[in-house]
Amino acid sequence: MAFQIHAEYKENFACKIRSICSDLRKGKGIFWLFTKSWSSDIRLDGKTAIVTGANTGIGKETVKDLAMRGARVILACRDLLKAEQAAGDISRDVENANVVVRKLDLADTRSICDFAELIYNTEKSLHLLINNAGVAMCPYSTTADGFETQFGVNHLGHFFLTFLLMDLLKHSAPSRVINVSLAHHMGKIHFEDLNSEKSYHPVKAYVQSKLANILFTRELAPRAEEMGVSVYAVDPGLVKTDIIRHLNKSLQFFVKTFGFLIKPPEEGAYTTLYCALTPDLPTGAYYSNCAMAPCSRAANDDNTASRLWAVSCHLLGIRWK
């Protein structure tokens, strides 16, 4: 009897190993072993969503899921050709998918204004704004408006976009804003050198911009809540996406070699979708692995959040109280 139990255990273990190996060959990675299982049958018929950076990775998977639930989803992307290809892929995978492509360059405030104007002219409502796009650890460069690219795109671009679309979100309430942020725990806001003009390091600039996303969420939440708009900050985890393209060759080699340790994009989208769909979710919080999570001490600093808000408004030339 003992031998039979042992043999059965060995067979079950062997089956498990075969299953894991199969998943690895399919590119799933092993993070599914640690990723919280989550699903929802909530429908989004009649709802409209905007996803920035939606042509690839987490953004594309987010669009696909929202479209499967019946939402009209706008892919807000800088590269229209890649966005059209992504929309075509989604339309082939999702029957009757209602997805459209719109030009949005978060490195250019004029493009952001043009995008927002087009949205107001073509859309009657907006229920989800998912600020997903980002640039990571690139060589030093500036946006069309002279901001350091990572701070300008990841923070100021989405800050300005949200400001411009807030009236439509308010009109469509209840609605939600989701800011995607990774690696903020290492970040610090360098008010004396926000544009990295004195000293530039790609990682330092990146984590500063991601901390700014959390502080933006923290400061926006109480303002938006009275309008019926909830705001969330989301950590997707370490995900295999095109964002690694600016890493140096040794780090790219590490990521490619140990890619099986990294989440695939569909799993990276879980927490974004969790915050988009879960009813009665507390606003203003930081979420990771489909649950509320602790953030860094710097991200909990109300004075820094308030100061960054004021500085961001000044840099963009807007009044947002």
Residues with catalytic roles: 206
Length of the chain: 321
Strand partners of residue 226: none
Q: How far apart, in whole angstroms, are the C-alpha atoms of residue 26 and residue 303?
A: 47
Strands 286-288 and 291-292, bridge-based pairing: antiparallel
Q: What are phi and psi of 231, to 5 degrees?
A: -130, 135
Helix-helix angle 109-122:158-171, to 10 degrees: 20
Beta carbons of 299 and 218 less than 8 angstroms apart = yes
Q: 167: which 2 tokens?
A: 């009236």
Q: What are phi and psi of 72, to 5 degrees?
A: -85, 125
Number of alpha helices (DSSP H) and beta strands (DSSP E) in the chain: 11, 8
